[in-house]
Amino acid sequence: MIIYHGSDLIVDKPEILKSNRLLDFGMGFYTTSSKEQASRWAEKVSARNNTDKKIISVYQFDFENAKKELKIIEFNSADEKWLKFITNNRNGKNIEEKYDIVLGPVADDNVYLTAKLFETGVLGIEEALLRLKVAKLFDQIHFYTNKSLKFCIYDHY
């Protein structure tokens, strides 16, 4: 499977980086199967770092073998389990169960607004999930452990 990482630099040796930002699936190395989504990420990173570089690094992801050796959770849609998982991560709450890889939809700014309204009790779970069903969701593949990165092989940019 081909996956992409958007940044303002070439990432030929992915690493699990720690950050003070609270993200959908926690700390780690984020990729996507969508070149369009990777391009959006490159734009955001470039703007955040005030650079004019937008680079998409390309990787081969051996998902079939990763499934045999690693602890993986896959969210196939923006369902209740996914919504609670990303809400906990974005709030810095410890997730009881750790994974090597997490796959699932991206909570972009529009989706995150729905998640925030759910989290604060403005929306109930049914209304939040209804709003998420109409949103265009890209995927993300999150590598959480160094062990998982051996299945993410740099190809080119």
Residue 25: its pLDDT value, please?
Answer: 82
The burial of 19, by beta-carbon neighbours within 10 Å (0-12 exposed, 13-18 middle, 19 or more buried), is given as exposed
Using 50, 70 and 90 to split pLDDT, how confident is the model at 96?
Answer: low
Q: Say yes or no to pLDDT of 87 above 90.
A: no
Average pLDDT over residues 34-44: 94
Q: Which domain holds residue 17?
A: 2-156
How many domains does the chain fold into? 1
For 67-79, what is each residue's pLDDT tens digit? Answer: 999 999 999 888 8
Average pLDDT over residues 115-126: 87
% of the chain with per-residue pLDDT over 90:
56
Q: What is the pTM assigned to this prediction?
A: 0.84
Name 79's Cβ contacts closer than 8 Å, sequence gap at least 6: 129
